[in-house]
Structure 1
Amino acid sequence: MFVLLKPRLTVVGVDLGTTYTSVSYYDTSRTGNIEDRIQIVSNWPAITYLGGGLKWGGAIPPNIQRHMWTKLELDAPRTGEAAKICQELLGSGYGSVAGVKRPVDIIADFLAQVLEHLIKNLNVHYTETLWQSFPLTLVVTYPAVWSDLAKALTLQAFSQAGFNEKNLRMPRKTITATEPEAAALYTIMCIRGTAQDKQLAVDDGFVVCDMGGGTVDLISYKVAGVDPTVLEEATIGTGDQCGGSFVERSFLRWLEEKLGEKDFREVAGGPAADISRTSLPARLSKMMQEFTGCAKSGFHGSDTEDYELRLPAPLNAIVCDTSHSIENGEILITSEDLKEMFSYSLQKIGELLLAQIKAAGQKGQVKVRFAFLVGGFAESQYIQMELQKLVINHGVHIIKPLHAWSAIARGAAAKGLEQGGATPIKDRKCRRKHREQESYICYWLISEGQDLPTAAKVHGKVSMHSNFWPGEKRHASPLLLAADIDKAPRRSHVIAVYEVARLRVNLEQVPQRAFRKQNNSKKPYYELHYEIHISVQSGLEFSLWVDGKRYGAVAAEYA
């Protein structure tokens, strides 16, 4: 008798990137280790709105404005390139073309296209009936440095896009993970059994450096246990806008300087500083594609690496112009030119990396042994070699894991597989200070830099009480406040204090016997003493406790 074993599709992981997005799913029908069974569906381009309808990917002409870096608009404040892109879209009136959509709505529209394409892949790989017959775990990733509001908006966008029971039929649960956590998990998965794995001992550390097109994010981990590997966050995550797209902006400035303002305008239609970040003129777009596909991606840093790029019309008719390094319609980019184009990103990434190594090694607690480079920009061999030169004297070795460009999506799938989503991260670092209710003398409920064991059910708790008249609805809505200063403020109106969320506590579920009847000169009322417990996982989780018993989760509306 033959038995057909059905594959059990259990996990879908999504890395919503700033300039690049990828999705992973776990394929149990294949043999081999976990890494080999993780399948990647990628190439999710930007979206645009034309004639009232949504277009994406290859359907968008190169000279049409599109939404880029929209992910960063979920968080505030928007600075640097993210702010310029936002201003550009608003200034062009493009927001009105899109129906004055909020960033969360635009991302939801984009994710809806991602979901549709993912489902097509699953239907081909399995058949619709088969993959929809198994429970699904969805793993959503986001930056470690994001606010709780941005995290909540991310989950809202996924739900709004259709990542729910209606389209996925049997989702078991949704798990969240920080991007460096997913990257760290994938990295550990990659080095198991390798020479690097054997070199890592308890109290050793490594830095995960996620280098995307727009942003670069870093965090350091300490090895807390081996067989299996257990990690603790050794530092608070840091990052900046200095990813691969800044090389392209430098190329445009170089091209303008090389050609001269007049000839550059022939190609670009205006000065380099004014060129749209969300669209390029058609002729310049083709040249940019050749630059990124050949010169940028293939550069190793050798002094003999020169590249010749074909110029668009009418400049491709120039037979020879030595003053502008043009010959037979092609312009020469020297190795020194390329080094200058990489210089801004390289300098900023180097500063961030050295700061992480220094922070991890403070008080001699963690010796950083490796820096693992992941993300699309990590594929640059020039970046890899230059960073290695920078950190070699610190005893740190640069490692680029296999499939570094999709490390976060792969790590997301691995997180969903390990013990039903249990994290290999033992402790996280608190990224800000949360203070208790308004009082004359205040103390930190959770302090910045505090170790937050992921296995702990509660990282902070606050005792509260509420009074209710007979027949009054028993709801409470306290504020959760935070501050980024060292000394706890005495009042909530101090400038440094800001609102994180308003909690919506439903006390109707608490039995009547828990309420104490009080009498005053007017009429009796009921008093309830309760606790709000806070658990800091990938995001904040709140729960209601009365007399040592849990009465469910507490909803939060983020500011």
Structure 2
Amino acid sequence: MSNYYGHNKYDGPECIVVAMDIGTTQSGVAFTYFYPGCHPQAQVVADWPGQARCNDGSKTPSIVSYRNGKFKACGGGATQDFEDNPKNVAYWFKLHLHPRTMLKTSESREFEIPPLPAGVTIERVYTDIMRYLMDNTRIFFETTTPNGAEIWERLRDTIVVVLATPNEWGIREQATLRKAAICASLVTEENAGQLVQFVTEAEASVHYALANPRGEWLKKNTVFAVIDCGGSTVDTTVYRCVSTDPLSLKEACPSECVQAGGIFVDRGVEMMLKRRLHRSVFADPEIIRGMVNSFENDIKPQFDGTMDEYSLKFGSVRDNEPSIGINKGKITVSAKELTDVFDAVTRQIITSCFGSLEKQKAKYVILVGGFAESPYVRRALWKALERLDIQVVRIADHLKKAAAEGAIIGRIKQFVVARAVKETYGGCVRQNYDKKLHRDRKHAAKLYA
């Protein structure tokens, strides 16, 4: 998607809003500069140190390296550290913050979360990566905005920071992120309550997906869902279109979130290789990690299950063991072995997320997120949705971090006007049923004699 422009001129006070999507494997940042009398524009940070600008450059690895407990590098600058000594690198650290309510299945409970480097807390990791993301956002802003350095310096203490989080994250997780933002000097203790704001990844993604012309499918009262397939979570939110001009949406029911993203495929492949190579000279963790890296970089992005077998590169031409499928530094894995791994994750998505689609009689689904880029995952979800008579809507530029840019678009033009709460606080109140107000909760109505 080209940079989104607001249709109306801004008439509020001058300010900068920065949105961060710190994902399990990749992170992204977008921002906008609100200036009175001008059309606000969503811009994505597309230059990150220590890495080539691949695709659109909007993603940077969510890894942080340390040396003797002290910060060393982030993003692309920590890639070599991860290859040389992963024990000194915080990766997949988002899993440490997931609430227990997300661990609903046996697969989730068995998943071993990579430990953080010795002496490093989860709050410290978020502090370091937030500082890294903001520092590079400042550099990008100053080099792409006329008089950028002067504007940033003038507005630095009032910058609003919007953090995209999974649907299931709540007060505890937000408190950790807010404290990290304070420690990273993005905000102060005095203004953090005002300047640090949160948006669910699914709501940010729906703003991204619907920012540009939407075609004929979206009409008043249309019920549709956004399924955000990320690195460690899959978020599902169902919306009802209240109006199309202006576009106005409301959540039809509480959102769903399941721990079943792309890293679970990576771990499934790792476990499969460990079982096959058990007691062989190739069972070394370093060798297996090289095989998994080959899968992640070469096979996973294009895998569609149509070939009979696939080769994972890991060593030299002198590495041979025909009995376990190793020939000249490559190990051969069958399509069946890989589809079994993918299917275990897609089944969990279908089981956990599709119930709300059926209950709300959704007609369309928008697939976003890095895991949805997988041809095999996309096809599996399409087939499952087709059985429910639900059509999939494709969006352009799916390679971007949709949540970061979507969070900014939501600040420029808010589409979602009503949300469905997951829980309430206070005493129990039995309200009389009103079909106009409670249509979506008709199933919960009870008749008292």
Q: Same fold (TM over 0.5)?
A: yes
Using a 3 Å threshold, how does the CA distance of structure 1 residues 235 and 52 change in structure 2: closer, same or farther? Answer: same
The yes-or-no answer on 1:107 pairing with 2:126 is yes
Please point out which of 414, 430, 433 is paired with 2:421.
430
Please list every run of 5 or more consecutive structure 1 residues that lacks an aligned counterpart in the other structure. Answer: 1-7, 269-280, 362-367, 437-441, 453-484, 488-559
TM-score (norm 2): 0.77
Cα distance per residue 1:222-253 (max 9 Å; x no partner): 11111121111112111211111111112112
The aligned amino acid for 2:218 is L
Q: Which residue of structure 1 lines up, in the alignment, with residue 339 of structure 2?
A: 339
The yes-or-no answer on 1:308 pairing with 2:311 is yes
Q: Which residue of structure 2 lines up, in the alignment, with residue 232 of structure 1?
A: 250
Pick the structure with greater CA Rg: 1
TM-score (norm 1): 0.63
Q: Which residue of structure 1 lines up, in the alignment, with residue 52 of structure 2?
A: none
Q: Which residue of structure 2 lines up, in the alignment, with residue 24 of structure 1?
A: 30
Q: 1:52 deviation in Å? A: 3.2
Cα distance per residue 1:510-551 (max 9 Å; x no partner): xxxxxxxxxxxxxxxxxxxxxxxxxxxxxxxxxxxxxxxxxx
Please point out which of 115, 124, 133 is paired with 1:89.
115
Please point out which of 70, 88, 94 is paired with 1:71.
94
Which one scores higher on RCO, CA 8 angstroms, separation ≥ 6? 2
SS at match of 1:434: coil
1:239-388 to structure 2, matched below 5 A, reads 239-265=257-283, 267-268=284-285, 281=286, 283-302=287-306, 304=307, 306-312=309-315, 316-319=317-320, 321=322, 323-361=323-361, 368-388=362-382
| Contact map agreement 1:221 1:231 (CA 8 A) in 2 | yes
Q: Which residue of structure 2 lines up, in the alignment, with residue 443 of structure 1?
A: 429
| Contact map agreement 1:430 1:451 (CA 8 A) in 2 | no
Q: Matches of 2:160 and 2:234 in 1, distance apart?
A: 28
| Contact map agreement 1:45 1:56 (CA 8 A) in 2 | no
Q: Which residue of structure 1 lines up, in the alignment, with residue 162 of structure 2?
A: 139
Q: Matches of 1:374 and 1:81 in 2, distance apart?
A: 22
Q: Which residue of structure 2 lines up, in the alignment, with residue 188 of structure 1?
A: 210
| Contact map agreement 2:274 2:288 (CA 8 A) in 1 | no
Using a 3 Å threshold, how does the CA distance of structure 1 residues 158 and 401 change in structure 2: closer, same or farther? Answer: farther
Q: Matches of 2:412 and 2:295 in 1, distance apart?
A: 39
The yes-or-no answer on 1:56 pairing with 2:73 is yes
Please list every run of 5 or more consecutive structure 2 residues that lacks an aligned counterpart in the other structure. Answer: 1-13, 47-57, 439-443
Q: Which residue of structure 2 lines up, in the alignment, with residue 155 of structure 1?
A: 178
Q: State, as a whole percentage, how many aligned pairs show the same letter.
A: 22
Q: 1:149 deviation in Å? A: 2.5
SS at match of 1:432: coil
Q: 1:107 deviation in Å? A: 1.4
| Contact map agreement 2:225 2:364 (CA 8 A) in 1 | yes
Please point out which of 122, 125, 128 is paired with 2:149.
128
Q: Matches of 2:132 and 2:298 in 1, distance apart?
A: 29
1:466-545 to structure 2, matched below 5 A, reads none
Using a 3 Å threshold, how does the CA distance of structure 1 residues 398 and 376 change in structure 2: closer, same or farther? Answer: same
Q: Which residue of structure 1 lines up, in the alignment, with residue 397 of structure 2?
A: 403
The aligned amino acid for 1:355 is G
SS at match of 1:47: strand
Q: Matches of 2:41 and 2:272 in 1, distance apart?
A: 41
Cα distance per residue 1:367-386 (max 9 Å; x no partner): x2221111111111111111
Q: 1:290 deviation in Å? A: 1.8
Across the two proteins, how many residue pairs are aligned to each other? Answer: 394
Q: 1:429 deviation in Å? A: 1.0
Using a 3 Å threshold, how does the CA distance of structure 1 residues 416 and 173 change in structure 2: closer, same or farther? Answer: farther
Q: Matches of 1:118 and 1:390 in 2, distance apart?
A: 40
SS at match of 1:389: helix
Q: 1:213 deviation in Å? A: 1.3
Give the strand-richer structure, 1 or 2.
1
| Contact map agreement 2:17 2:160 (CA 8 A) in 1 | yes
| Contact map agreement 1:26 1:39 (CA 8 A) in 2 | no
Q: Matches of 2:68 and 2:445 in 1, distance apart?
A: 52
Q: Matches of 1:121 and 1:228 in 2, distance apart?
A: 33
The aligned amino acid for 1:296 is K
| Contact map agreement 1:218 1:239 (CA 8 A) in 2 | yes
